[in-house]
Amino acid sequence: MATIQWFPGHMAKAIRQLEENLHVVDIVFELVDARIPQSSRNPEIERIIKEKPHLVIMTKSDLADPEQTKNWIKKFKAQGLPAIAVDSKANITTKTVTRISQSILAEKLDNEHQKGLKERPIRAITVGIPNVGKSTLLNRLVNKRAAQVGDRPGVTKGQQWLRSSSKLQLLDTPGILWPKFDDEETGQALALTGAIKDQRFASDDVALYALKFFRQYYPEELQKRYKLTEDDFELSDVDLLLKLTKQFGMKDDYERASDRLILDIRKGKLGRYTLNRTDGVADE
Ligand SMILES: Nc1nc2c(ncn2[C@@H]2O[C@H](COP(=O)(O)OP(=O)(O)O)[C@@H](O)[C@H]2O)c(=O)[nH]1
Ligand SMILES: [Mg+2]
């Protein structure tokens, strides 16, 4: 996938499209990466979707630290935001998403029922930054049948509703949000998980960030994977990276070694991890 360059014009257009689509849905599924529930959020989202019911779906939870995921769900709830964690590859995901959507919208659906309106499926749109897992979740929810259930007035031309079940249908075009990375740590967290591929983030900087992070939060995984000794843990991050470079048989090519370390982490070779720690997030 080509890197998306976000220019103000792109952003404005994406927001406009999303705002149009909001008129035809009952609920917004905001996708965030469970490993970086804060860094993968676009801070504008709440302002854009306003009063529309809103469910935070933490994707890739199979890669995230389960304890942290639980805490994140609590944190979102404390902010008045219902949140769930999913693995989009798992079958159960469709049922989970449908059930929680029904419970969030229970009052609205009940009211419609009281008024004698016919039962109808919940209409939803997925939104999120590139690579957060929008297409994967959509495919899971529509079970690849990608059933088109016809045009509806107000839907941007060319868009279709995809049927998930008799209870849920989704717009086929997700809303794309841009990541915001004006502080270094957010940028590095996005780069380490593969959310952004941007030359502004040099591999060795990302690798050093990763080493520092894993030494602090998951030292055993780091030790196991690279057979580190106690002395290795006394080294500076830079010296540890140089040691790993030699260990990988890459002489002094620490950039290549950085790429290897980053790939190992993305693939989960160092276990499940959450980069945005709940203990570091201020309660709101
Ligand atoms: N492990 C895991 N990988 C996922 C999950 N959801 C998406 N992915 C992977 O994340 C990458 C980006 O997913 P994609 O759906 O294309 O993201 P999009 O750009 O938001 O549409 C792909 O390699 C997916 O296989 C998930 O729940 N678990
Ligand atoms: Mg996609």
pLDDT digits (tens, 9 = 90+) for 65-92: 999 999 999 999 999 999 999 999 999 9
Residue with tokens 């849920």: 168
Dump the DSSP string for 23-90.
Answer: TT-SEEEEEEETTSTTTTS-TTHHHHHTTS-EEEEEE-TTTS-HHHHHHHHHHHHHTT--EEE--TTS
Percent of the chain with pLDDT over 90: 76
Ligand 1 binding pocket includes 131 (Cβ within 6 Å): yes
Identify whether the C-beta of residue 178 lies closer than 8 Å to the C-beta of residue 11: yes
Q: Which of 31, 59, 33, 58 is nearest to 45 (CA)?
A: 31
Q: Is the pTM of this model over 0.85?
A: yes
Q: What is the pLDDT, as a whole number, of residue 5?
A: 63
pLDDT: which is higher, 273 or 159: 273
Q: What is the pLDDT, as a whole number, of residue 144?
A: 65
- From the CA of 182, how far away is ligand 2's center (Å)? 24
* Cα gap 239→32, rounded to integer Å: 34
* For the CA of 138, the nearest atom of ligand 1: 15
Domains annotated on the chain, with CATH:
9-172 (3.40.50.300), 202-266 (no CATH)
The two tokens of residue 269 are 């070779």
Mean pLDDT value across residues 1-23: 79
φ, ψ for residue 198, nearest 5 deg = -135, 130
pLDDT: which is higher, 255 or 147: 255
> What is the pLDDT confidence band of residue 157, given thresholds at 50, 70 and 90?
low
Q: What is the pLDDT, as a whole number, of residue 10?
A: 82
The two tokens of residue 37 are 């529930």
Q: 9-40 burial string, b = 16+ CB within 10 Å, else e?
A: eeeeebbeebeebbebbbbbbbbbbbbbbbbb
32 known member of a binding site: no
Residue with tokens 């502004």: 200
Q: Which of 231, 233, 218 is nearest to 269 (CA)?
A: 218
- Is the per-residue pLDDT at 1 higher than 50? no
Q: Of the bound ligands, which one is closest to the alpha carbon of residue 126?
A: 1
Which residues fall within 8 angstroms of residue 235, CB to CB, at 6 or more apart?
243
Helix (H, G, I), strand (E, B) or coil at 184: helix
Identify whether the C-beta of residue 161 lies closer than 8 Å to the C-beta of residue 169: yes
Identify whether the C-beta of residue 141 lies closer than 8 Å to the C-beta of residue 61: no
| 184-242 residue pLDDT tens | 999 999 999 999 887 778 999 999 999 999 999 999 999 999 999 999 999 999 999 99
Which of 50-54, 129-133, 276-280 is predicted with the least confidence, judged by mean pLDDT? Answer: 276-280
134 known member of a binding site: yes
